[in-house]
Amino acid sequence: MRTIKFILQKEFLQIFRNKSMLPVIFVMPIIQLCVLVFAATYEMKNTNLFVVDKDLSSHSRELISKFNGSPFFTVKDIDFSINNAEDELLKDDVDAILVFENGFGKLVDKKEPAEVQVLVNAIDASAAGLYNAYILSVIQEYNLQLKAKLQIVGKDNGIHLVQNTYSFLFNPEMKYIPYMLPGILVLLVTVIGLFLSAMNVVREKEIGTIEQINVTPIKKYQFLIGKLIPFLVIGFFELGVGLLLAAFVFKIPILGSVWLIYLVAFVYLLTILGIGLLISTQTDTQQQAMFIAWFFMIIFIMMSGLFTPTDSMPMWGQKLNYLNPVAYFIKIIRMIMLKGSGFMDVAKELGILGVYAVSILGIAVNRYRKVA
């Protein structure tokens, strides 16, 4: 126990003496959190529309004014020429084109199907999907109004309207910040935990200090625990800062227990630090460790459900995700923060993480050799 205490003392001394790493560890996460939460959003604002109106009827104008009135759209220009519109699209000045053919208004008046052509820049497929959905919803809304009007005009027609009603549970306004923030919090804790631990033991190897440590009576587990605890503390600190920002800056209600979040974070960090230490013991230079850590990091994060829902991944991907600690933590932290889930609700995932942590740490201690 005493030995671990002295190793810890030394580790903290080194961390706090490292003037270039200190800001990276403590300030970077806060900046990242603030930037990413606003930047990584699926909310569409400022979609630039180009309207080709060859009809110039009251109906087409009404629909255009609906787009103009929407906060999501800016009608950049109205023109008769589809060619001009396509030029603008090529120049990337507009995101979508709306085309009203001549006769649109007449068809509407005749109560016959009238068509609006929508051309969307689909270089970014997910953005294109969103433009399309937003445009459709505006047209839909117009349709409903129109039908209602027509119904009033011609009472015999008896058009039946089926209107969907829906409500989003746990995030009623479908806000992105409450959805993204917990995930980004996980990301930050992961980056710090994985990289710091992956760099650490291998740095001692690179500088040669491990030689001097290895000839002392320090035991393997003491050495690794001494390496683990400082990063655990740093991870907890970052999580705390992140939660405070979430509660007081972003005003996200944290429905569940903060203690439960910390319990999960503890188990999760053990897993991540275990992976980091394992990488560190298996590599010879910091460069190797960096690249391997980065490799796992990217896979873990892209598959974690942070940006894209895990349910839409192919079956093999979902199976692979059983091995992805980030996915578990993101799922759990969202459940706790947004849904107010209690211990029993997350027990299964927490259990899996626990098994993960114990086995990966076991392997890491086992693979670290004091003797070559």
Partner 1 sequence: MNSTVSINNLSKSYGDVSALKEINLNIKSGELFGLIGPDGAGKTTLFRLLATLLLPDSGSAALCGFEMVKEYRHIRNILGYMPGKFSLYQDLTVLENLNFFATVFNTRIEDNMDMIRDIWVQIEPFKDRPAGKLSGGMKQKLALCCALIHQPKILLLDEPTTGVDAVSRSEFWQMLKGLKSKGITIVVATPYMDEANLCERVALMQSGEILSLDSPSGIIASFEKDLYSFEAKDTYQLLLNLRAYPFVNSVFLFGQSVHYTDVRDDFVLSDLKDYLKSKGQDHVEIKQIAAGIEDCFMALSQQNTVQK
Sites of contact with partner 1 (CB under 8 A):
2-3, 6-7, 9-10, 13-14, 17-18, 207-218, 370-372
Q: How many residues does the chain have?
A: 372
Least separation, in Å, of the C-beta of 196 and partner 1? 15
**Closer residue to partner 1 (CB): 14 or 285:** 14
**Closer residue to partner 1 (CB): 315 or 372:** 372
**Closer residue to partner 1 (CB): 56 or 207:** 207
Dig out the tokens for 226 from the structure.
Answer: 């001494």
**Closer residue to partner 1 (CB): 30 or 210:** 210
Dig out the tokens for 175 from the structure.
Answer: 């806000």
**Closer residue to partner 1 (CB): 10 or 106:** 10
Distance of alpha carbon 200 from alpha carbon 18, whole angstroms: 13
The residue type found at 324 is N
- HEC readout, the chain: CHHHHHHHHHHHHHHHHCCCHHHHHHCHHHHHHHHHHHHCCCCCCCEEEEEEECCCCHHHHHHHHHHHHCCCEEEEEEECCHHHHHHHHHCCCCCEEEEECCCHHHHHHCCCCCCEEEEECCCCHHHHHHHHHHHHHHHHHHHHHHHHHHHHHCHHHCCCCCCCCCCCCCCCCCCCHHHHHHHHHHHHHHHHHHHHHHHHHHHHHHHCHHHHHHCCCCCHHHHHHHHHHHHHHHHHHHHHHHHHHHHHHCCCCCCCCHHHHHHHHHHHHHHHHHHHHHHHHHCCCHHHHHHHHHHHHHHHHHCCCCCCCHHHCCHHHHHHHHHCHHHHHHHHHHHHHHHCCCHHHHHHHHHHHHHHHHHHHHHHHHHCCCCC
Least separation, in Å, of the C-beta of 204 and partner 1? 9
**Closer residue to partner 1 (CB): 17 or 45:** 17
Least separation, in Å, of the C-beta of 265 and partner 1? 29
**Closer residue to partner 1 (CB): 104 or 223:** 223
**Closer residue to partner 1 (CB): 21 or 177:** 21
Least separation, in Å, of the C-beta of 361 and partner 1? 22
**Closer residue to partner 1 (CB): 2 or 160:** 2
Least separation, in Å, of the C-beta of 370 and partner 1? 8
Least separation, in Å, of the C-beta of 13 and partner 1? 6
Give the CA distances from residue 92 to residues 122, 125, 303, in Å, rounded to whole numbers and listed in that order.
11, 15, 30
Least separation, in Å, of the C-beta of 306 and partner 1? 35
Least separation, in Å, of the C-beta of 28 and partner 1? 20
Least separation, in Å, of the C-beta of 210 and partner 1? 8
